[in-house]
Amino acid sequence: MSYPVYKVLHLIGVFMVLLSLGGLIVLSAVGQSSNARWKKLTAMTNGIGLVLLFITGFGLLARLKIQWPWPGWVLFMVLIWMVFASLMVVSNRVPKSAGYLWWGSLVLAGVAAYLGNLKPF
């Protein structure tokens, strides 16, 4: 696949993860985290988005000809990916943290956008 196709699929993965986390955080905040239908939909969207992010992220690295050892910004992106993967569990188990998770995921997404676009280190 070409670089633009990988990039568009990567962004779709980002949107899926943020959409699912936002939905799950809102469900937790209003006390509806036991709503099985929406919980299943957000979990599926989150999982598919994370897998899409993972695959297309490495595809983008291959297109940029970045090999091991990875630069620091790639390592931070992998760390951010793992944090996003764990936020779903946190929002289910600690519903009182909904406000922190809401703003924290926005900050994480901003940091990831900064690292992905500027590749500072």
| Tens digits of residue pLDDT in 19-78 | 999 999 898 888 776 678 888 999 999 999 999 999 999 999 999 999 999 999 999 999
Residues 20 and 38: beta-carbon distance below 8 Å: no
Cα separation of 76 and 67, whole Å? 15
Which pTM does this prediction carry?
0.90
Helix (H) or strand (E) holding 121: none
Residue 95 DSSP label: G
CA dihedral 30→31→35→39, nearest 10 degrees, is 70
Domain boundary assignment for the chain: 3-118
Look up tokens 């937790």; give the residue.
28
